A and B are shown apart, each in its own frame.
Chain A
Amino acid sequence: MKKLKTHTLIGGVLIGTLLILAVVAAVWTPYSPLGIDLRSKLQAPSMAHWLGTDEFGRDVASRAMQGASTSCLIALLTVALATAMGLVVGVVAGFMRGWTDRVLMAFNDTLLAFPGLLLALGVMVIVGANQWGIVLALSLAYAPSVVRVVRGTVLSLREREYVEASRMIGNSEIYTMWRHILPNCVAPIAVLATSMFGWVLLSESALSFLGLGVPPPAPTWGNMLASARPYMASAVWLCLVPGLCIALTLLGINLLGESLRDRLDPRTERA
């Protein structure tokens, strides 16, 4: 019990700080994240620039804040879209079974067979490298694994007697799906979604790093990291700041996910 509380606390503080920074960045940053000042380029952290400046003299702290809001928005939208797609396809496939299931799963497994990042790259080429392109590409890359989890859960749930009981009551299949199957999928999906948030954040950084993410000069943690590469030896803060941001966010998400899993487990519920 004690352990669970510290988990939740640390995770909550990390993610809370991140969200606050992301929201604040929308209205205020110490400097303009895009403001170039070539006279003060590559400055080490100081009182004026807390986290130093980059090769164009832009304030790293402001860019990291702005990056937090871009990265988190992309990750949130992606998780929501992937979960929604995965839920619909997974529930339908698991509940209908038969040919519907086979066709959907064949398609899904084909998608699953591609490495996620490769799939995302392919989609990006078609829809273009911008914020919405990233969201769509990453959702398509992550939805298949949600489909798998949802379908597995539904397959086991539909054999439960309360599903049969619902049929006996005279409820339609759609109603049974909506009332008895979907709510019972929530726990595994919620846990999957939190960890997915972390993966999406990483993938977005990777895409940006490869030059296919949000186009510069708009900052994301990924493209900050990418552009910091040449200065790794001379200006270490340039890669440390976005790197630490990603690492701490992942840590927070994982801790929160763990406590969420414990919370949603019916055996510990209201214990």
Chain B
Amino acid sequence: MNTSLNQAVLSVEHLKIELRHGTQPLVHDLSFEVKPGEFLAVVGESGSGKTMAARAILQLLPPGITQTGGRILFDGENLSTRDVKAMRPIRGPGIGMVFQEPMVSLNPVHRIGEQMAEGLRMHTKLSAAEIRARILDMLRRVQIADPERCMHAYPHEFSGGMRQRIMLASVMLLKPRLLIADEPTTALDTLSQREVLDLMVGLARDNGTAVLLITHNLGLVGRYAQRAIVLEKGQLVETGNVPAILVEPKQVYTRKLVDALPRRQPAKAETAAQQQPLVQVRGLCVSYAGARAGFFRRHPPVRVIDTLDLDIHPGEMVALVGGSGSGKTTLGRAILRLAPSQSGQILFRGEDVRTADRAALHRFRLACQLVFQDPFSSLDPRMCVHDIVAEPLRHLPSLDAAARLRRVQETLDEVGLDGLGARYPHELSGGQRQRVAIARALVRRPAFVVADEPVSALDMTIQAQVLRLFQSLQAHHGFACLFISHDLAAVDQIADRVIVMERGRIVEQGTRDVVFDTPQHAYTRALLEATPRPLAVSAAYA
């Protein structure tokens, strides 16, 4: 295998993947090349066939889906004709793969050390001691604090970011020629995302590994990739060098993707601050019972929210940002009394709802709403869209049946779902489901809405649409909103004021422009640093 520097590591020629013969192909006539040491991004939305193309390279297509045309050449050899046994020397030392979900890609019943050793045992003739030494080295390389202990630990003892680093380490142990990473950081928060990807780039450079990064996040493309190919509905629409593709997209679809990137809107005139705050949180503490330490003992309680103060004014859009584990979701739930809190006050229109009795709590709930992150599990699968949106109105006895029907219709129109009232949640797309959830939250015209990562489960272009919709609804109805998110780019677009949380405390707050342009606290700066801003990058190139 003498590969000259210019010969591609991987070259895909006219790849065609179909579900069954005769139906619309999942991938059609896809050709591209990856050169040694190159970082190539494959960009596309869900359903664009990017994952299927990657799986086809490793001959790991799910049952029922087959490659029906084209060739896949790895180091000049055709992989498409190889059977399972002949693929084994390729998988691992030739091509490594990192999957999207770090939570499920490590086997929960094996220790980390055993899992990492598997590949080396299979593909090399190293002794047990050498294998151990290499694993320790590699764990150190991916900045795992205590590699010795890590080897003996089980996957559940690690956070998502650490698991993904371990996964990366075990793949890179075999020094593959090509690394395929399928949305490796989509499940991680901004800070871990940056860590994992920086390590990936470093390791790839050390070993001369080419990287194929599959992603829907153009921000990551801008920061890490040299070249990108854009897929739409299984077809290649555009290919080119990275700054160029972001600054001057040639195809309509690429332009649509670039336009979907969040952009800062001009700040609203500050009128809210003079009014009496709608929601006042004073000295709020939330703690969870400690883990069991023995048969009768427990560890001391873990404080998730620590004596926290917070004001939200009527009609204000306040963004609450922070990494995973910062307590932002817990805070949102505690304010709505969906999670218990231990001490402090939550004043809504001057009335303390933390200790409110049933009737007062009911009044409070009538005036506020929650939009969840996962649009699928927040909708009852056995109710149609119309019933879901109409349900909150049963607590408004002042509306008669005709008025209710009108209100539901009006709200469905507002969120762009007119005519879909008879559908069930599983018949809708992710973006449409989130619109239903937003309609349900707004149908009673609440004064206060908590939105917990409302767009982070959605595709780029859908994210942009839902964000715009949310923004215009907020402007129209004027509700106050606590917008919880780890995506600073989205926050940049939508928020009036930003609150940064770290480990249960507020470390910085202020108007959006002040916090984002002149961050004071180190944690805020780290978060902003880690947020990929492709437009800033492309502006520098332009």
**Chain A interfacial positions (CB closer than 8 Å to B):** 160-162, 164-171, 180, 183-184, 266-267, 269-270
Contacts and interface: CB of A to CB of B under 8 A. Distances in A.
Nearest to A167: B338
A164 B424 contact: no
A164 B370 contact: yes
Contact of B372 (A161, A169, A180, A267): A161
Contact of B377 (A160, A166, A180): A160
17 contacts: A164-B338, A164-B378, A165-B379, A166-B380, A166-B391, A167-B365, A168-B365, A168-B369, A168-B370, A169-B365, A169-B440, A170-B366, A171-B391, A171-B394, A171-B395, A184-B382, A267-B426
B75 interface: no
6 shortest A-B CB distances, which residue pairs? A161-B378, A170-B365, A169-B392, A162-B380, A161-B372, A161-B377
A267 B374 CA distance: 18
B259 interface: no
Contact of A169 (B338, B374, B377, B395): B395
B370 A183 contact: no
Contact of B391 (A169, A183, A267): A169
Contacts of B366: 170
B77 interface: no
Contact of B379 (A162, A168, A170, A183): A162
A270 B424 CA distance: 10
Given A164-B370, A164-B378, A169-B392, 5 more contacts: A161-B378, A167-B365, A168-B336, A170-B362, A267-B426
A167 B437 CA distance: 14
Nearest to A187: B382
A266 B380 CA distance: 12
B427 interface: yes
A171 to B, nearest CB: 8
A74 B516 CA distance: 72
Given A170-B362, A170-B366, A165 B378 contact: yes
Interface residues of B, number: 25
Interface string B435-461: 001001000000000000000000000
Interface of B: 336, 338, 362, 365-366, 368-370, 372, 374, 377-382, 391-392, 394-395, 424, 426-427, 437, 440
Contacts of B440: 165, 169
A184 B426 CA distance: 14
Nearest to A162: B380
Nearest to B446: A168
A2 to B, nearest CB: 15
Contacts of A164: 338, 370, 372, 378
A75 to B, nearest CB: 28
B325 to A, nearest CB: 20
A146 to B, nearest CB: 20
A55 B424 CA distance: 60
A249 B424 CA distance: 36
B438 to A, nearest CB: 12
Contacts of B365: 167-170
Given A160-B377, A270-B424, A170 B336 contact: no
A267 B424 CA distance: 12
B426 to A, nearest CB: 6
A266 B426 contact: yes
Nearest to A267: B426
B395 A170 contact: yes
B380 A180 contact: yes
Nearest to B369: A168
Contacts of B394: 171
A170 B391 CA distance: 10
A111 to B, nearest CB: 28
A171 B392 CA distance: 8
Contacts of A267: 426
Contacts of B392: 169-170
Contacts of A167: 338, 365
B452 to A, nearest CB: 9
B427 A270 contact: yes
Contacts of A184: 380-382
Contacts of A183: 380, 382
B374 A161 contact: yes
Contacts of A160: 377-378
Contacts of A161: 372, 374, 377-378
Nearest to B363: A170
B323 to A, nearest CB: 22
Contacts of A270: 424, 427
B338 A168 contact: yes
A235 to B, nearest CB: 53
Contacts of B395: 169-171
Given A170-B365, A270-B424, A270-B427, A165 B381 contact: no
A107 B362 CA distance: 35
B156 to A, nearest CB: 18
Contacts of B381: 184, 266
A270 B378 CA distance: 21
Nearest to B387: A179
B19 to A, nearest CB: 14
Residue from B368, B369, B380, B427 having most chain A Cβ neighbours under 10 A: B380
Contact of A269 (B336, B374, B377, B426): B426
Nearest to B391: A169
A156 B387 CA distance: 23
B362 A165 contact: no
Nearest to B374: A161
A171 B381 CA distance: 18
Contacts of A165: 370, 372, 378-379, 437, 440
A167 B372 CA distance: 13
A162 B375 CA distance: 9
Nearest to A175: B394
A266 B382 CA distance: 9
A41 B395 CA distance: 72
A6 B496 CA distance: 61
A266 B369 CA distance: 28
Residue from A165, A267, A269 having most chain B Cβ neighbours under 10 A: A165
A266 B437 CA distance: 20
B391 A162 contact: no
A169 to B, nearest CB: 4
